[in-house]
Amino acid sequence: QLQLVESGGGLVQPGGFLRLSCAASGFTLDSYAVGWFRQAPGKEREGVSCISRSGRITNYAESVKGRFTISRDNAKNTVSLQMDSLKPEDTAVYYCAADAKALGCSLTRGDYWGQGTQVTVSS
């Protein structure tokens, strides 16, 4: 019914780039703010970026500001995360989450979560 599927992860060298995609299935994503989160081994889950329902409001963690860009295409029912100038510290499993209740968007909450996609930044 309510499913989110992340894709686009992989192995990349420092300084490289990846584009992650979050696709909704069984519902229309335009009713939800969407966030990207990541979790690395031994670390707490971190909110990376989020985008409001309209796409007019975006937020970024300080650690990725200037390097990552979030966008959405409601006609395609997708949200993307463009990741440039990747660093080893970006290595983590990345999750997208749909938020039904956020005002604007939140880096701390989600109602429905995808399965995650692995991003590894290494030489």
Indicate if the pLDDT at residue 1 is higher than 90. no
Residue 45: other Cβ atoms inside 10 A: 13
Residues 59-108: tens digit of each pLDDT: 999 999 999 999 999 999 999 999 999 999 999 999 999 999 999 999 99
From the list 64, 88, 75, 83, the residue with the least C-alpha distance to 24 is 75
- Quick one: DSSP state of residue 110? -
Confidence of residue 2 (pLDDT cuts 50, 70, 90): confident
Residue 66: the pLDDT is 98
Residue 2: other Cβ atoms inside 10 A: 13
What phi, psi does 2 have (nearest 5°)? -105, 105
Residues 27-62: tens digit of each pLDDT: 999 999 999 999 999 999 999 999 999 999 999 999
Side chain identity, residue 36: W
